[in-house]
Structure 1
């Protein structure tokens, strides 16, 4: 069994459980995680700059220099056959590691890392974004392959002049055995899972929900997530007069989200393009909801139409259209049979297209080809 390195600058993050899930499902490759900052113990072989760096000096130095010499026991990585980095900025940091090890580098682009304008990234004032901006052309030349999590992201990479021959579209997938239909909750609710950022469109969902609360007085909106817009969204909920009908649960573990999905009547995510161009890649949470047999109401945004078949596995509306969103939510809440049928079709479609075991097997085949060609 060959060993590969998976680079993620900060790991693990609650919102990025898909990276661990993908690793758990590898059958022919053994992953070793490489990080600048390791937040907690993980059940994988790992190496991090943060180990024995109580004051964070080495971590800061790595952000500035990208030097592999800041890793303690770096030579333990000499057996790696490939480096796989998640997100564009991480690809720049992993590039120096792959060069030192003389192994192929593959970078997965997920969304913001290719859709936010480089001017907007610069204004964020984070050094890792500066590194991407300064070294993006070098990354295009030196990386062996780029994975796009949706066809939408593939097209964005092409727009940014990433080499066509280096781009592969690959869906990450979800665990269809874990995310599976369960018993509906006695309490009726719409579920939304998403960080409180502009691109998630939670304000649009709140306005849509406010339009149908009188018609469906027994239905709640449960929202899982947190972020920079939390206070704004809480204030909007009060302004709309629906604070008694909306439950903000904050960030929750994967297991809690799973139970909430199984009990939900509808899953809703009103994703939209943010002012700085930030877009989704393909929200994994939508695949998870469909795998649970829940109809999804979302938007014609980014890779979402690749995961939701409008009128078959859910409904799609235009971005920021709270009126159309309210109409689709009303249809599903008014006729449970429609939702059940859509949920069944969604489960079938997800099992066919987004089974993480199938998708990880395809990923390992990509690893095979890169290692053989390098």
Structure 2
């Protein structure tokens, strides 16, 4: 089994579990994880090469120096004699940092685009110590990278607009592990009038608009509750907003929770809502993977016409779409689903079938490994 490097500066973030989930689904390639810092545990039985691991100034200095210099030497030293078949970097910002490492190793570089790396305004990258290389070396990445994978058709259009080559820039959905997700049945009696929101608490997720919409809904109905799973810098502000809207007692902020607990909440909720918005700086939802996980559970979903979210559902059949920042429309969509149990379960049944047909992780992993085969044996289109 050939080894590959999964490259992410900030490894194992709770909000980026999809990276390790994709890598751990591989059957013909063995992932080695590499990055600058870690935010969680390495998957069992795997190896992680992290510049910031250990104690003392030398480790910290090496991580900072590499971030500013883009030198491959610290990573090559950690890797030692290992000879991976390719590097798969997640986010374009990390692709430009992994490019010198791949060049020194003489292996192809695959880069996945997930969202902000294709939508954020370039001045924001220049202002970040971790990202300022990106606009400076993005052209080099486009010329020398072997393959670029985009998490939605929306993102692929944005990446092509940035000058990446069409023949090496492909749509590839990460996928959902449908085999591990049991679909809820209408006969189950544990469904409750819970509106579920699973997201990092940042502006792009639109949580403030959801709280305002829920306040409108709650003013007319005594039974619904809003459960928010996720952590982030806006938590305190959002908790204050719930209190100001008079629904503080009916909104539960649970923080980040294990994936198994999240799916348990999905099974007993009435719907999942992700009202993402485009931020002034240009952040946009790349796809909304949590919408797919909810649909695979048999849960109807509500989202906004923002970024790649429309690709995650069949409007009117598996979920409902509303305009960005439209509090009244969002409240109306949630009310419509709460009022119609039969519709909720019908949408959930169709949602499961939709995800199985287009986003099943086993199928997507098979395709990903075929792409790995192509770039490692040279059959995939290369730069002129």
Name the TM-score, length of structure 2 as normaliser: 0.93
Q: Name 1:42's counterpart in structure 2.
A: 43
Q: Cα distance, 1:128 vs. partner?
A: 2.0
- The correspondence of residues 212-361 of structure 1 with structure 2, limited to 5 A, is 212-361=217-366
State the alpha-carbon separation in 2 of the partners of residues 341 and 76 from structure 1.
55
Once residues 327 and 235 of structure 2 are traced to their aligned partners in structure 1, the CA distance between those partners, rounded to angstroms, is: 19
**CA apart distance, 1:69:** 1.8
Corresponding residue number in structure 1 for 2:382? none
Partner Cα distance (2:78, 2:242) in 1: 51
SS of the aligned residue for 2:214 comes to helix
| Selected match of 2:121 from 117, 124, 142 | 117
Structure 1 residue 185: deviation in Å? 3.4
Bigger mean CA offset, 211-220 vs 268-277: 211-220
Contact 1:282-1:302 within 8 A present in 2 as well: yes
State which of 326, 348, 371 in structure 1 corresponds to 2:376: 371
User: Which residue among 122, 147, 150 is the counterpart of 1:145?
Assistant: 147
Partner of 1:27: 27
Cα separation, partners in 2 of 1:283 and 1:186, compared to 1, 3 Å: closer
Aligned partners of 2:54 and 2:215: how far apart in 1?
A: 51
Structure 1 vs Structure 2 CA RMSD: 1.5
Displaced runs of 4+ in structure 1, greater than 4 A? Answer: none
Q: 1:154 matched to which residue of 2?
A: 156
Per mean C-alpha deviation after superposition, the further-off stretch among 22-31 and 228-237 is: 228-237
Counterparts of 1:307 and 1:90, CA distance in 2? 25
- In structure 2, relative to structure 1, the CA distance for the partners of 1:200 and 1:184 (3 Å cut) is farther
Unaligned runs of 5+ residues in structure 2 are 380-384
1:184, 1:262 within 8 Å by CA — same for their partners in 2? Answer: no
Map of 1:60-139 to 2, 5 A cutoff?
60-71=64-75, 72-77=77-82, 79-122=83-126, 125-139=127-141
Contact in 2 for aligned 1:68/1:74 (Cα 8 Å): no
Q: 1:186 to 1:81 in 2, by over 3 A?
A: closer
